[in-house]
Structure 1
Amino acid sequence: MKYLMLIYGNEQVWNSVDAHEFGELVTEVDAFNEGLRRSGELVDVRGLESRPRAVRVVEGAPVVTDGPYLEAKEHVGSYFVVDVDSEERAVEIARSYPALRYSRGLGGGLEVWPLMEPGGDGS
């Protein structure tokens, strides 16, 4: 089963990491991703550009605006997709994501979303 891992943060979290810590974090995340690649569980991993567009329906018509995102304090900064045998394994991977410890109680986190297979009914 494939799972989408959405990695959230906010400006306060991102600005709390100094240049040295950021370098360490990048090294740790690269090693984390490489471990998942070697195990065959990593499907995709990407950072997101900081200029999203929000699409909302206003008076019956879709309206496109610059972010922020839909009513959220935190923003998706990156994601990765894994293909694992169980939800328990997906959660284990999510819990071990290195950047989680940098949030320092300032927000952010990681969501684990099961992905529908083509032709799936979502259950």
Structure 2
Amino acid sequence: MSKFMILLYNQPSTWADLSPEQMQEAVQKYFAWGDNLRKKGIYLGSDKLTDGVGKVLRGKKDVRVTDGPFTEGKEFLGGYYAFTAANYEEAVELTREHPHLEYGGIVEIREIHDMHRG
């Protein structure tokens, strides 16, 4: 089995039009999707990232630190899930049902290469 991570990208308006009740319903769908991975024994982890708050580092010798990422008018990384799957095809099939797609989000799937020593 290989490890995969899905990266969940939002548009600034993705959640703006939802009522508190609709937002709670969406959160429950995300929890249920993760619970399904747990039941299958393939869940590795997940988290939501803070909205628009972070730091960006650039440079080689003189590393510059700036506020960011800036999200005006474009998608931003909002969270991730990690799980195991046999291959990309299986990872895609598992991800097709993710509620992030239902809410107009973008989902990127990446394979994780294990870099642990020993």
TM-score above 0.5: yes
| Matching residue's letter, 1:10 | Q
Identity among equivalent pairs (%): 27
Find 2:110's aligned residue among 109, 113, 117: 113
TM-score by length of 2: 0.85
Q: Partners of 1:64 and 1:97 in 2: how far apart?
A: 34
Q: Partners of 1:69 and 1:112 in 2: how far apart?
A: 22
Q: Partners of 1:29 and 1:15 in 2: how far apart?
A: 17
Moved more, 83-92 or 14-23: 14-23
Q: Partners of 2:95 and 2:65 in 1: how far apart?
A: 32
- Give the count of matched residue pairs: 113
| Matching residue's letter, 1:54 | V
RMSD: 2.1
TM-score by length of 1: 0.82
Whether the 8 Å CA contact 2:9–2:77 is kept in 1: the answer is: yes
Q: Partners of 1:62 and 1:2 in 2: how far apart?
A: 31
Find 2:59's aligned residue among 45, 57, 60: 57
